[in-house]
Chain A
Amino acid sequence: MLGYRLQKRDEPWSWGAPIIVVGALVLSLGISALLLKLQGKSAVEGLFVLWQGSFGASWALEDALLKSIPIFLCALGVATAFRMQVWNIGAEGQFALGAIGATWAALNFPDLPGYLLMPLMFFSAAVFGGFWAYIPAILRLKLKVNEIISTLMLNYIAILLLEYLVFGVWKDPKSYGFPVTPEFTGGAVIGQIGDSRLHWGFVVCIGAGLGMWAFMRFTRLGFDIKVAGEGQRVAMYSRLPYGKLTILVMAISGALAGWAGCIETSAVVNRLQPSIMVGYGYTAIVVAWLARLHPLYIAISAYLLAALRVGVENMQLELQIPAAFGSIMEGLILMSVLAGQMLVTYKIRRKK
């Protein structure tokens, strides 16, 4: 076609990754600027307002950090499973179960002091989220059920379960019939760090990120997971307990998503309500891939994506650009970065 063809590189293009990311960003921002022009808005002003909303003020940085917290935790979780080629698409449902677990603890032990209640909430969020991920792991090992399908389907069940609880037994009697639980009391609320809007969930993120990095790099189990990620056969020849490792990565994955649900419920809305489900579990999959499953890159891409979303709100506010434009920009950036990654392993050659 057009006299060009793809040829596999002998060695991966070592400088490729950063060049491609920058190139893809420039390309997608260029297309976005064109779209702005077509809408009759000033492209330069649009991109400036976007930058301003994302990075232009200390509170913009803070807003983006806050928004990246649940995305980062979910992405860190799914990346662990992806490392072993276990395709956990169910972070959304595990997030919901984590929120349910935390709420269960908060509603049942409201009088416990914070130093007991908070660990209990994180523990039960991890157990609930981990359990939700354990189901598809077992189904895959015992019945060979494809985990892509089962994790995806469990997302819908999890959201319905959450709705059942807030519309039913957990509904706040003082909410005029609206589907929300009562507000959490003192010890069940994750507080702010000093005067900032940032809450202690941010520290949990840093801890979890460092912990996962060290676990994968320095422990025997982490090494086993990476080996098993080369394929089930490899794992068998290496005499690795493939089944147990599958359960382990799924449980870690679910527990981290569960923590994200716990933090979002406790620190941000201070109660359980259906509107906490805004698709972080799906965003996490994209973030994990963009970052090629590395914890540090996950942190960076989660932050950049959050910054983009926050910045697009600023574009809406200042220039009256429709909300859908944000999704278009996001799609453009993700598509061009992911498609561009092909160039790391292939090069374009003119046909002879």
Chain B
Amino acid sequence: MKKTIIVSLVAVMALSVLAGCGGGTKTEESQGKADAPAKPLKFSLSLPVTTTAGYQARVTDWKNDKLVKQLEKLTNTELTVRITEDSKMSVMFAGNDIPDVVGSIGTPTSKSMAGSVEAGVFMPLDDLLKQYAPNLMKKVPKAAWDAVSHNGKIYGIPDYLSNPSRRGTYIRTDLLEKAGLKPPQTIDEFLNVLRAFKKMGVENPYQMRDSFKYADVVLGAYDVLPYKDQFEVVNGQVQPKFFDVDNMEKALQTYKTMLDEGLIPKDFATISSADYSKSINSGKAGAWSANATGLISFRTPIRQVVPDAKVDIIPSPKGPEGKGGYFFYIPAVRTFYINKNVDKERAIGIVKFYEWMTSEEAEKFFTFGIEGENYTLDNGKMNYKIPTTKEEQEEESFRQGTLWMGQDATLSPPRKRLELDQNGKDVLSAFDNVLNMEGLPGIGFYPDLTAFAKYPDLAPPQPDVGPKLIIDHMVKMIYGKEPIADWPKVIEEYKAKGGNEILKEANERYSKKEGVLEIKR
């Protein structure tokens, strides 16, 4: 009898060891090793990507990848790296195959995290960070720490934004000069510039797009962006910004004028992002809205078509209240979480690993790569080999954007790299002198309001797209299928179809300060 028990116990233990192996690289590797500091810290890490194309597509063996090896050398670690597409994150969670450190795009309650933080898959990091990563704590702005907190506890280490205003108004300066006009400062001036462009034969004076995505300069000027994190407090009540009937009607009227006068494409409701880029890059657009980091990627193709084209980022035209620009992004772009099964010693090591990310050594490695291969130093002067082939460019962007964790993600490529040439300097100047002055703060709810899940038509499907119900009415009004004066009715419809529940929950959470994120500079 006793023997049977022992045998079955052994069998169970053997099985659980097997199960442990099957479950991925969990805790068994490092026990007892962490206290010997000379030994490298071992942990597994999943890096989030939006696409598997690029550098990551060419690496088959991450153990022997030169960038990973260099990172291991610099940080005395032994990494088991894998790449996880953002859309496949829930598959990883459902399969319970969770590495020691998981990176994801967004915040703890983002869809790609599949509710894992709420389910307690990861550990809170407050104490560890305070004790072992003082520089990181200082460098990452509080707004970003707030964004990666859940129920008051920090759960992740973010790639943060030091400047939440990321989009800018682009204009073809050469056309502006030809028209003899100054950069527009108000919406009225903006329309006049567009009219002048139209007269000069520019096909799409303002490159509009479907759903107002990257086409919201007017909505911004009137401060009625219908987005997820664009709630505001009016008379002590939290409400979406599109509740502002007066400004919304003016914004819609402006778009209608633009459509009627041919200042935006007649079929903008079916202009996809591909059509939008194609039109701009072939020199058919006079002004447009886009990410400011994209300046270089617009200049090059446009100049191939129109050799003397000049593309610049100008201050966004202001509305009657002096507001303008685009929505503020939530200040955490990617977030890295530590599996709760990681023992304390290793967790400390991992936090120190992220602390190292703030160092100058890290900045140099991720920005410029490996000495001798990517750059040389002449008496301390940086001689960076600027990537020319597609392969080299992909390697650079992987190093700077994917492998560098816990960084300031405002600029891509990083500041030091941008300082090397004129295009980069122009991007820097756009961020430091233009975007710094504009943009629209708002209130967001993290995790999402639960009422959103109940009423998909009232929930913004993406951070920069409004709810279907609202967008549908806006588009119909601009096309003249519904009168703009009916906007109050749209708000009533919104309320009746579930909006009242959204408002109620938003106000309750706002007054209790539960998962409320004020997104401001």
> A and B, one complex?
no
Q: B residues bordering A, Cβ < 8 Å?
A: none
